[in-house]
């Protein structure tokens, strides 16, 4: 019982921290939550826990912006591609289910390589953030680069539960105004979360127990987001971002080392 209580406290603290990061930066809830939760559970179990907190906080974020319809028109091909990428991941990851004695080996292999992908995504995101690397997408390039970023984002989300790569760098490269960028990320993350929920339901990982636990996780996530929004007006965002990206780099390195060393 004490171990179970410790697990509940750990999960609650993870969602408070993840919500706080999202409140300050406008992103990072699934990245931080999955990275920390996978220290104690599989990526798919962690992804199932974050469905409700991520959905609600993303809708909260996109509803607060000024240009939802315009952003939807501009990003709709990317958002559709996110769903396509997630569906492809569902087929690939779920392909080994029910295959007799080989099903367990396939599931173990899928968990291992999805963990590696999660670690590499965190490493890349953290390194790019610390380097301050910025790039700009021309309107002409948006026609093909948006769908490409969407497919890759959806595929990575389907196997890791994290949907910030490469969606967040791509959206930052569109040179949007600050409020528009935050709203665009909320829109993209909302679609990604819903697509991930459908995938998890297809795989049997999104059921009544998982939904109930995810609803409970909303409380600490919302509290953390409110705290983060309060902190955003009282601290230097540049310093916080450096700490945030350094933490992602460390978590990504830990995830990869854990997989490769067994």
Tell me: pLDDT of 253 over 50.
yes
Q: What is the pLDDT of residue 1?
A: 41
Tokens linked to 98 = 């029910």
Nearest Cα neighbor of 17 from 237, 221, 233 is 221
Residues 32/43, Cβ–Cβ less than 8 Å = no
Model confidence band, residue 146 (pLDDT cutoffs 50, 70, 90)? very high
CB within 8 Å of 1: residues ≥ 6 apart: none
Residues 36/48, Cβ–Cβ less than 8 Å = no
Q: What is the pLDDT of residue 94?
A: 62
Tell me: pLDDT of 99 over 50.
no
CB within 8 Å of 201: residues ≥ 6 apart: 207
Tokens linked to 162 = 């994290």
């Amino acid at each position: 019982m004490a171990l179970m209580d410790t697990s509940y406290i750990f999960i609650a603290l993870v969602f408070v921290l993840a919500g706080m990061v999202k409140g300050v930066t406008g992103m990072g809830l699934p990245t931080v939550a999955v990275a920390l939760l996978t220290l104690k559970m599989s990526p798919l179990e962690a992804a199932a826990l974050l469905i409700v907190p991520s959905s609600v906080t993303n809708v909260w974020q996109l509803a607060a912006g000024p240009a939802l319809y315009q952003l939807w028109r501009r990003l709709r091909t990317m958002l559709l591609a996110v769903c396509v990428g997630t569906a492809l991941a569902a087929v690939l990851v779920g392909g080994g289910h029910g295959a007799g004695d080989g099903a367990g080996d396939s599931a173990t292999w899928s968990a291992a390589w999805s963990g590696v992908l999660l670690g590499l995504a965190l490493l890349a995101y953290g390194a790019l953030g610390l380097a301050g690397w910025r790039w700009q997408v021309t309107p002409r390039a948006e026609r093909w680069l948006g769908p490409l970023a969407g497919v890759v984002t959806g595929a990575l989300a389907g196997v890791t539960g994290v949907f910030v790569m490469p969606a967040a760098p791509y959206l930052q490269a569109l040179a949007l105004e600050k409020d528009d960028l935050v709203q665009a990320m909320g829109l993209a993350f909302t679609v990604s979360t819903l697509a991930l929920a459908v995938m998890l339901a297809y795989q049997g990982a999104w059921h009544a127990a998982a939904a109930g636990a995810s609803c409970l996780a909303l409380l600490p996530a919302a509290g953390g987001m409110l705290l983060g929004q309060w902190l955003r007006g009282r601290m230097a965002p540049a310093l916080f971002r450096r700490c945030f990206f350094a933490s992602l780099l460390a978590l990504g390195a830990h995830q990869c080392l854990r997989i490769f060393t067994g």
